[in-house]
Amino acid sequence: MALNLVMIGPPGAGKGTQAIRLCRQYDIPKVSTGDILREAVHAGSALGGDVKDIIGAGRLVSDEVIIAVVRERLAKDDTARGFVLDGFPRTVTQARALDEILEGRGPLVIVVLEVPERELLRRLTWRRVCEDCGASFGGVDVPELAEQRGSEGPVESGRCRKCGGPLVQRPDDNAAVIRDRLTVFTNQTAPLVDFYRDRPTFSLINGLQAPDQVTADLTSAIEAALAASGATGRGRARA
């Protein structure tokens, strides 16, 4: 049975990092609405033009637009065995739409990463992205501005460990926008916890731990959720 996983948590909680790890472990794609929208902005598409200003201000695009984006993405063949959703759903309206999209596709596993606000501010204000390849650094491992040793030797301070490009701060990672994003999360996204809490496939995870421990806790929660729903993910998981 497919592993359909939703990761919920505020900006800076580590959802992106953990999603990538789980995708490798279970051999399923990561579906990030944030990545989809940023790619649209970079490509100058019609969707990108509509959401550019909204993303820059750290606000959320409409439920209607995001639901349509996710519906189209989850209809692709590579999601047949499951997926990890990062950044969706953010509202109860989106959650109800996701239930409808996934009807007949197996259980929905929901994990919530919990991180105190002070730590979120620390992570996000230090986060940097590569201007050339888009790789993200910082977050849990902050700061990333000291000299690093990449696969081909030392990397200059403030340069990408993957390609050597310059590290820059995302426009939506300044302190004022971060606080606005956290407020938006609290007001609009936190009610998802109440919406999902009573499901046997729901878990709360301490995101303040070391990344490897968070991954271990997520794996345990996923396996327990699949067992509770009569499915199993162990046959697909890779060491």
- In tens, the pLDDT along 9-68 reads 888 898 888 999 999 999 999 998 877 777 777 778 777 777 777 766 767 688 888 888
Res 103: pLDDT:
93
**17 located within any domain:** yes
CATH number of the structural domain spanning residue 184: 3.40.50.300
Res 197: pLDDT:
94
Angle formed at CA 59 by CA 57 and CA 63, multiple of 5 degrees: 150
Backbone φ and ψ for 5, nearest 5 degrees, come out as -115, 130
Q: If 0-12 CB within 10 Å is exposed, 13-18 middle and 19+ buried, where does residue 189 land? A: buried
β partners of residue 146? none
Backbone φ and ψ for 234, nearest 5 degrees, come out as -65, -30
Res 166: pLDDT:
87
Res 139: pLDDT:
55
Q: How far apart are CA 20 and CA 31, in angstroms?
A: 10
Res 157: pLDDT:
63
Q: How far apart are CA 54 and CA 40, in angstroms?
A: 13
Q: How far apart are CA 32 and CA 10, in angstroms?
A: 14
Per-residue pLDDT of the chain (239 residues; tens, 9 = 90+): 689 999 998 888 988 889 999 999 999 999 988 777 777 777 787 777 777 777 667 676 888 888 888 888 898 999 999 999 988 898 899 999 999 999 999 899 999 999 998 888 888 887 788 888 877 776 555 444 444 444 444 445 678 878 888 888 877 777 788 888 888 888 877 889 999 999 999 999 999 999 999 999 999 999 999 998 875 444 344 43
**198 located within any domain:** yes
**134 located within any domain:** no
Catalytic residues: 15, 90, 127, 170, 181
**45 located within any domain:** yes
Which residue range forms the structural domain that includes residue 98? 3-116+176-228
**164 located within any domain:** no
Q: How far apart are CA 168 and CA 70, in angstroms?
A: 29
**238 located within any domain:** no
How many distinct structural domains can be found in the chain? 1
Q: How far apart are CA 203 and CA 126, in angstroms?
A: 28
Res 235: pLDDT:
37
**140 located within any domain:** no
Res 154: pLDDT:
41
